[in-house]
Structure 1
Amino acid sequence: MCFRRSSPLIHSIGPYEGGLRPADSPFEALCEAVAYQQLSGKAAATIYGRFRSLTDESRSLDPLLVSKLSEEQLRGCGLSRAKSAAIQDLSAKTLEGVVPGHASLAPLSDQDIIDRLISVRGIGPWSVKMYLMFRLGRPDVLPQTDLGIRKGVMRTYGLPKMPTPKQVIVLAEDWRPFRTLASWYLWRSLELDQ
């Protein structure tokens, strides 16, 4: 197992520096997740900043206000047509109660939260797992389809080729109940000199 305190990977990276990034609501966190999907951090931050400028940035993101934004306004921020539709659906489902507040989600199991939130257009298991890891602080979440996780596993374990998500799941059994922490180290491992 590569995730013991004495492991070379942990020694090279150092102590965990992550933490929770609070959001006022699941709606706000998932809007940000949609904006960041499949983009570099810098590009996504710019687009999300433009999106937030359409709302009162000093306040929590309001699904009612967002639901009133036109597709043209959303697209003008740099959001794709698909992401604009996802944010509109997220607004509607939040207003309908399908996407509740943190307090209602917190007691649910990880799988129950995933099952509930993937009913929103554009929100898949990866986005929900990021929410579970970095907003709810769930300790045992594994985003096995994440390219960075798969590359990190390949590098850390010295594999000749990229592991499949199923292979990542098998390897990650040894990391329970701290797969979130192991994932953070795998992402960080990609920043190390080779």
Structure 2
Amino acid sequence: MVYLKYDLNDEKVQYLIRTDKTLERLIRYIGTSELAMEKDGFKCLVKYIVGQQISDKARETIWQRICTIFGNVTPDIMFSTGTSDLREVGLSSRKVEYIKILAESVVEKRIDFEEFKNFSNEEIITRLTALKGIGQWTAEMYLIFSLGRENVLSKGDGTIRRTIQWMYGLEDLPSSKELAKYFTNWNEYATIVSSYLWKSISLGLTQKPFDEAILGQGG
């Protein structure tokens, strides 16, 4: 498994902690964040199609089942596998359809992941969201977890919105516009900020008020 790792020795992280005291407290408390990468573009997209509208835990369970049963998750294998066989691993009929549409697009060379490496985020999102079943969030997860783009803010990601609400003691979940305002100084490294926000959830920090969870870090 390949990871993108960030810690307090990273110049980008040092820049981020200078922009905001609350973010600084969170980053200093967590220390190191990491993102598990899936360089194979097709596998990455299948994984996040699987993960649409379910928990991370449920996604990982189904994804590991797919990898165990089918071995190498390739476009040819997914396209040729029967719908009932894919349904048996826990996929909904819609997600099976989406995976098969993606697989067919790759097999027929309408989607070229090597070509994507030279495209802008916006160009890639436009190409991917033209396929049925791939929305903005799924395309953004590909940008982050396959291409390792550091400037991706997924404004529709519920975990990011909930963590910002927790950090700043907001009464309501921030809207997409409100979320973008918080990220104004972080746009270039929005992915890095997101990695710390996601980790705060996985560490269980959000189960307590921010000041209590990050006690002793900062003012």
Could you state the TM-score of these two structures normalised by the residue count of structure 1?
0.88
Instruction: Say if 2:154 is the partner of 1:139.
Output: no
1:4 positional shift: 1.1
1:100-125, CA deviations, whole angstroms, 9 ceiling, x for partnerless residues? 12x21111000101001112221111
Q: 1:37 aligns to what SS in structure 2?
A: coil
In structure 1, list runs of 5 or more residues that go unmatched.
none
2:199 aligned with 1:182: no
Aligned to 1:98: 110
Equivalent in the alignment of 1:124:
135
2:167 corresponds to 1:150: no
Offset of residue 171 of structure 1: 1.8
Deviation at 1:62, TM superposition (A): 2.2
Which residue matches 2:184? Answer: 173
For residue 20 of structure 1, report the CA deviation from its aligned partner: 5.0
Alignment of 1:4 with 2:17, yes or no, is yes
Q: 1:68 aligns with which of 80, 84, 87?
A: 80
How far has the Cα of 1:21 moved from its partner?
Answer: 1.2
Q: Which one is further off, 67-76 or 184-193?
A: 184-193
Contact 2:152 2:187 in 1 (8 A): no
Pick the aligned partner of 1:31 from 24, 34, 46. 46
Instruction: Map Cα deviations across residues 9-45 of structure 1 (whole Å, 9 max, x no partner).
Output: 1111113x3145133x311111111112222233222
Identity %: 32
Which deviations, in whole Å up to 9, do the C-alpha atoms of 1:61-106 show, x marking residues without a partner? 22122111121111111100110110111111111222212x2111
Rounded to whole Å, the distance in 2 between the matches of 1:185 and 1:62 is: 31
Where does structure 1 differ by over 3 angstroms across 4 or more consecutive aligned residues? Answer: none
TM-superposed CA distance for 1:50, in Å, is: 2.8
Q: CA separation in 2, counterparts of 1:54 and 1:119?
A: 29
User: Per-residue deviation at 1:145?
Assistant: 0.9
- After TM superposition, the score normalised by the length of structure 2 is 0.78
Task: From the superposition, tell whether residues 189 and 54 of structure 1 become closer, same or farther in structure 2 (CA, over 3 Å).
Answer: closer
Larger helix percent: 2
Who is 1:45 aligned against?
Answer: 60
CA–CA distance in 2 between the matches of 1:89 and 1:22?
20
Query: Secondary structure of the residue that 2:17 maps to in structure 1?
Result: coil
Counterpart residue type for residue 68 of structure 1: S
The structure whose residues are more often strand, as a share, is 2
